[in-house]
Structure 1
């Protein structure tokens, strides 16, 4: 859940399918077991199951759990659910029509994963954009702040959906522009949900509100900080830096390959 600028220090992922195949190719015992597995009736199914397990990282599973819980609890509207479904279909569509993966050529990376400042920024966005709003929502159940829960839930739901989709787009089946498309699309959508969150938090004075004054101030502060952080992420990092660099590197590799 990096906001689209690279993995954070909290990323914990399972080995990828390519790493598993590489280890097996270097290990004679694994090669022998693989040959025996192909001859046996259950060998192919076991390999496919292992590849499927490696496809989802620990972070993706957590994000998927949040998406399922929020969807089942009714805390998100039908429009946000439809948006997630649309993003999945459109991502697969443009990956086949406009930006196919570069077969036989390594996909270029945009930002170095060893950039310490970038990792700290990613950790900061996770805390501010995900963990603190979840804590705010959980506290809302105790203080019966239905308006605060309703206002903050779409942002958390879409951010969890973005994290899951970024993991899907990080697969070798998708090209670099698709990996750019996911955070830009979701970040742009969440700007509108954050605007509604801000409006609802500052409109509590005109409505019947059962929460404490402290919670009201925390809710406003969270909404303002998230609006500032994710607006900067979209207009200060993704659009002016991430998108041009990713497209330039993608087309340079594609041109050199052609």
Structure 2
């Protein structure tokens, strides 16, 4: 799966980039003539994420603060890609991690189930049971994750540099931890509240909130910051030195 959980775990290149990289590996002289790579349009998962953004925003379950965060992230992404980490002309950035790695795919799939599909099912089921508090608490996390997937699609199809791409998951992951804390707090103290759904739903909400807290905290502090970012910066700056 691309987006949200995909680029968090790997730096996935678009198909045309992968074809050029493969040709360069087979033909050493191919690097002397680098063709222009046209940006591809957003993939189906990215468009689905845009649909989730629109639905949640139109339903009134998204605060102005979270919506402003989405707008600001786009503006700042363009800013740092122009000022701090511009893409070098005729430079092709290879994947940071092997996209074919089974462990990587497992990690991405776990993140998708915990962070995306689980909350979607929780919100839909909450609509049936009338759990307004649970829906309101889980919606910010789902909105921001969908926004992250959409922004990652823009970053990868727009030929941004690796540090600019890495900005998106780090920025959004950091923000979503605070929304998950609020979600978990709501689930813990919801048992005595009215319109909280069945007892099984209360327990499911707590488990889902705890799982998201554990996964995304590890993703930020155990993977993105100590592992992913150093590799991204090393690839970016070593490439610049070779160009110089």
Normalised by the length of structure 1, the TM-score is: 0.81
CA contact (8 A) 1:108 1:176 kept: no
CA contact (8 A) 2:5 2:111 kept: yes
Counterparts of 1:159-170 in structure 2 under 5 Å? Answer: 159-170=145-156
CA contact (8 A) 1:202 1:220 kept: yes
Instruction: From 161, 164, 167, give the equivalent of 1:181.
Output: 167
The residue aligned with 2:111 is 125
Q: Please give the root-mean-square deviation of Cα atoms over the aligned residues, in Å.
A: 2.0
Paired with 2:104 and 2:60, the residues of 1 have a C-alpha distance of: 35
The residue aligned with 1:139 is 125
Instruction: From 39, 43, 66, give the equivalent of 1:80.
Output: 66
The reply to whether residue 69 of structure 1 matches residue 63 of structure 2 is no
Question: For 2:10, what is the secondary structure of its paired residue?
Answer: coil
Paired with 1:210 and 1:89, the residues of 2 have a C-alpha distance of: 38
Question: For 1:170, what is the secondary structure of its paired residue?
Answer: helix
The residue aligned with 1:246 is 232
Paired with 1:17 and 1:118, the residues of 2 have a C-alpha distance of: 20
The reply to whether residue 98 of structure 1 matches residue 98 of structure 2 is no
Instruction: From 5, 25, 47, give the equivalent of 1:2.
Output: 5
CA contact (8 A) 1:140 1:146 kept: yes
Distance 1:17 1:112, change over 3 A: closer
Paired with 1:150 and 1:67, the residues of 2 have a C-alpha distance of: 15
The reply to whether residue 198 of structure 1 matches residue 202 of structure 2 is no
The reply to whether residue 256 of structure 1 matches residue 218 of structure 2 is no
Paired with 1:7 and 1:128, the residues of 2 have a C-alpha distance of: 21
Deviation at 1:210, TM superposition (A): 4.0
Structure 1 runs of 4+ aligned residues shifted over 4 Å read 15-19
The residue aligned with 2:26 is none
Structure with higher Rg: it is 1
Normalised by the length of structure 2, the TM-score is: 0.85
Question: For 1:139, what is the secondary structure of its paired residue?
Answer: helix
Question: For 2:237, what is the secondary structure of its paired residue?
Answer: helix
Distance 1:209 1:65, change over 3 A: same
Deviation at 1:55, TM superposition (A): 1.2
Paired with 2:18 and 2:54, the residues of 1 have a C-alpha distance of: 29
Gaps of 5+ in 1: 20-50
Paired with 1:80 and 1:209, the residues of 2 have a C-alpha distance of: 25
Question: For 2:191, what is the secondary structure of its paired residue?
Answer: helix
CA contact (8 A) 1:187 1:234 kept: yes
Aligned length: 221
1:127-151: per-residue Cα shift (whole Å, max 9, x none)?
Answer: 1111111100001111110000000
Deviation at 1:18, TM superposition (A): 9.8
CA contact (8 A) 2:137 2:183 kept: yes
Instruction: From 117, 142, 148, give the equivalent of 2:134.
Output: 148
